[in-house]
Amino acid sequence: MQDYQDPTTQNYIETSTQNLQPMNLSDILDGMFTLYRNHIRLYINIIVVFFVINYGIDKVLMLAIQDSPTAEGLGSVFLFAIVSMLLSFYIVAVLSYTTAHVFLGQNISPSNAFIHTLLHFVKFLACSFIYILVLAGLIITIIGIPFAVYMFIRWGFYTLPLLFEGKSVTKSLKRSSELVKGSWLRTFGITILIILIVQMIQTIFSTSIGMIFTLIPGANEIQDEGILENLRRMFAPSPIDIGWGIYLIRSFITLAIHSILLPIGSIGSTLLYFDLRIRKDAYDLEMQVNN
C-alpha cells in the first residue's frame, strides 16, 4: 500500500506570486465565487461525500423518530445528530484546507484533502470545542455577549493555522488572535457580510422550494394549527405531513442545494485568512522568496 504524503510536500504548481496581494472587500467577495467556479469539479467531489452521508443520516433519523418514539429511539436520534454535526465540521475543514491550496495554485486531490484533515481531525475538534465552549460560556452570562462577539472574530481563524500551518491547538487559537489583532473591526465586517450573503442565498432557495412544493397537491396542506405550525409544514415538513415520496424528493433537493452552497462560506473565510496573513506577515513576499 502506498504511504500517504502530505500534498504540501508533493508536486504542485505554485501560483504566480504577483497575484498574492492584500485584498479589499470586492476582491474577497468576487474571489468566493470565482474560485468556486474555476474549481467546481474539485469542490463537487468533496461535497458529494457530505451530501450522500447526510442524506442517509436524515432518513435514518426520520425512521427512528416515527418507528420508535421512545427513549431508545430518541437516543438513536441524538447519536445520529452528533454524527451529522461531526460530519459538517469535518467537511468544512476539508473545504478550508482545499481552498488554501487552490488559492495558492497548488495541486490537491479530494483524497489528499480528506486524509490530511482526518489525520488532524482530533486536534481540530479540540480546538473547535474550546472555541465553542468559550463563546457559549460568555453568551450564557448575558453581559458577556459583547465579549463573545469579540472572541468570535478573534479566535475564528484557527482552522488553517492548525491544518495548513501545522500548529498545535493552543497555538492555532493564538495565531488567529495575532492575525486579527489591529484589524478586528474590518475582519468583523467582512465576516458578517460573508455570513449574510450565504444565508441570503440559502433563504432564497429554501423559500423558492417551499413555494414550489405548495403547488403540489397534498405536499403542504394548510391546516388550522396556527401560523408557526403552518410555516413549519411549508419549510420543514416531516414525512407524516407530506408523505414519504414527496419528503424524499424535497429533502433531496433541499440538501443538494445546501451542499452546493456549503463551499462559499469556507472559501470566503479562507480568502480573508490569507488577506490577514499578507497584511500581517507579508506572506506575499515570503512566497516570492521561497520561489
Identify the pLDDT of residue 228.
64
CA gap 60, 68 in Å, rounded: 11
Q: Residues 6 or more apart from 231 whose CB is under 8 A from it?
A: none
| Residues with pLDDT less than 70, the chain | 1-19, 64-77, 214, 216-242, 282-291
Contacts for 143 with CB less than 8 Å, ≥ 6 apart: none
- pLDDT score recorded for residue 91: 96
CB–CB of 213/193 below 8 Å? no
Give the list of residues 6+ apart from residue 185 with CB closer than 8 angstroms, or none: none
The x, y and z cell numbers of residue 151, run together, are 472572541
Confidence (pTM) = 0.83
DSSP label of 70:
S
pLDDT at 180: 95
Q: Is the torsion defined by CA of 194, 200, 201, 202 positive or negative?
A: positive
| Phi, psi of 165, rounded to the nearest 5 degrees | -90, -15
According to the model, what pLDDT value does residue 167 have?
95
CB within 8 A of 24, min separation 6: which ones? none
Whole-angstrom Cα Rg for the chain: 21
By the 8 A CB rule, do 175 and 158 touch?
yes
The pLDDT of residue 211? 76
pLDDT tens sequence across 80-112: 778 888 999 999 999 999 999 999 988 999 999
